[in-house]
Amino acid sequence: AVGGQVAEGGEATGSLEYRLVDSLSLETKTLLSGGIAGSVAKTLTAPLSRVTILFQVHGVVTTKPSRTAYAENFVAALRKMVQREGILAMWKGNATSVLHRFPYSAINFFCYEKAKVALNVNGESAMTRLLAGGVAGALACMVCYPLDLIRTRLATQIPGAAFYDGIWDCGVKILREEGPWGMYRGLGSTLAVQVPSLAISYSAYGTLSEAFKRRGIFLCPQRSDRLNAVGCLLSGAIAGILGSMVTYPMDVVRRRQQIMVKHSKVRDTRARNALEDFVFIFRQDGITGLYRGILPEALKVIPVVSITFLTYERVRRFLRIDR
């Protein structure tokens, strides 16, 4: 009798869970899937993200112009950051990151799925995914950009010389000192990075996934039309590397643009625009300057894109979008 009650309770619980899931609209499920995927991936890779940003912007924030690199290498950078600010420094600004990443990823995946259907005239192709990814990336960037700007400014503050005291204080000071358009400083260079990067990532992921399915590798034992975890992670890793390598130099410029105005005032120098800064970096440090921080970026982008796509696929199944 007791066993029967447990079984009935389990069945009722399962039934209730499915009823709750099925009560959500497809749009809500897609937004949740994207938001959760982005937030999980961002939190797990936050230390790598912060090291990358510190390498990218060090030439702007340092009080020692002769030292254009944050540290000699990735390991030295991690050690320096932890010694200066403690172990939690690796997640500095992560609350803002998640506040930005949840809506950003939710809008991104939602717009990608919608754009893919709208552009899918003669069957889904690499070009369809490329265009849909570009559209999704542009819309998500423009909507969520102010939070990305705030996150970057908080993550790049120097201990003992901080301009801002938290998310709210940062937002208020930017509006007061730089005006409403200050919240969108560096948007042009951000779009120049994110649109092609996301377009390439979506296209590469979808194309690789289809290739694996056609060859019958990395498939779920129960479902031959679904990739297993290894397939999702491998497709995401390759897609992330391709997107990042193409757009990384512009990513260095966009991060510097986001903080340039504040640090140029401190140094009493004129803030350079994106093109001027690109030329300045190239003249000062050559091609290596444009790829400064690429190692932590590569170490970050492989897991972040892989985990994002894997989590997205798994949450879609949990929410019964893909049955």
Nearest Cα residue to 66 out of 284, 300, 283? 284
Non-local CB neighbours of 38 within 8 Å, separated by 6+ positions: 101, 102, 104, 105, 106, 108, 308
Most confident of 19-23, 147-151, 195-199: 195-199
Angle (CA) 283 63 82, round 5° = 105
Tell me the β-bridge partners of 227. Answer: 219
| Higher pLDDT, residue 122 or 221 | 221
* pTM for the model: 0.78
User: Is residue 303 scored above 60 in pLDDT?
Assistant: yes
Angle (CA) 273 274 279, round 5° = 100
Q: What per-residue confidence (pLDDT) applies to 202? A: 95
Lowest mean pLDDT among 267-271, 279-283, 285-289: 267-271
Dist CA 229 CA 126 (whole Å): 22
Written as six digits, the tokens of 288 are: 């290596």
Dist CA 68 CA 299 (whole Å): 22
Dist CA 295 CA 68 (whole Å): 16
Q: What is the pLDDT of residues 212-238, one digit of tens each?
A: 999 999 999 888 889 999 999 999 999
Tell me the β-bridge partners of 219. Answer: 227
Q: Provide the pLDDT confidence category of residue 160 given band limits of 50, 70 and 90.
A: confident
Mean pLDDT value across the chain:
85
* Sign of the CA dihedral with 146 first, then 202, 74, and 79 last: positive
Cβ–Cβ under 8 Å, residues 108 and 140:
yes
Q: What per-residue confidence (pLDDT) applies to 122? A: 65
Q: What per-residue confidence (pLDDT) applies to 10? A: 46
